[in-house]
Amino acid sequence: MNIAQIELLMYQVSGLLLPPVLIMIILLFFYAFFILGCFAAQYLQRLRNVYDYQRAVHSLNDTELDLRPRSVKGYRLFSHYQGNNSKTTTDLEVFALKELEKQRIVTRIAPMLGLVATMIPMGPALKALADGNIQGISENLAIAFAAVIFGLMTASITFWTASVKKRWFVSELNDLKTYLAKKEMQA
């Protein structure tokens, strides 16, 4: 197999990759808006329940089981801890990372897929340029630019929501740390 055959094979395979990459970009774009909706709902829950949360954090030292705080909507890390108070600080950190993992992956993958979907149509666009086919150039470039825009918008939304959620988790973990430190020293 010579170099020309390898180049032709790579060109043909890259053309076959475009439809699945475009489908993935569209799915990730819808996923980003789903995440944005979930984020807005959680934000509203946090606003509504901030006083319940503050009361719950302050009542963590109550020894009577009836007085122990329950979960608070919008405060996922705290609620996770309340569901199983044998969790350690490390367990809660792992929970927070797991909760953010999908968004962090999408934040990194979406621009890569956008770049892939940008580069694949560039080959046919350059071929159309060599043939003097202006319409072929514009069609391929439209796909290329749309794909990168969708990829970057997806990454922007998921990065922003993951960053704010990370701050929320750190804040909740910080609120629990004093209590957890006392509990771990007693054990």
Over residues 138-160, the pLDDT tens digits come to 888 888 899 999 999 999 999 99
Q: Are 51 and 173 in contact (CB under 8 A)?
A: no
- pLDDT bucket at 130, cuts 50 / 70 / 90: confident
Token pair for 145: 């630019």
Over residues 19-62, the pLDDT tens digits come to 999 999 999 999 999 999 999 999 999 999 999 999 888 887 66
- pLDDT bucket at 9, cuts 50 / 70 / 90: confident
Which pLDDT score is estimated for 153?
A: 97
- pLDDT bucket at 116, cuts 50 / 70 / 90: very high
Q: Are 92 and 81 in contact (CB under 8 A)?
A: yes
Q: Are 26 and 38 in contact (CB under 8 A)?
A: no
Task: Name residues whose C-beta falls within 8 Å of residue 1's C-beta, 6 or more positions apart in sequence.
Answer: none
Q: Are 12 and 138 in contact (CB under 8 A)?
A: no
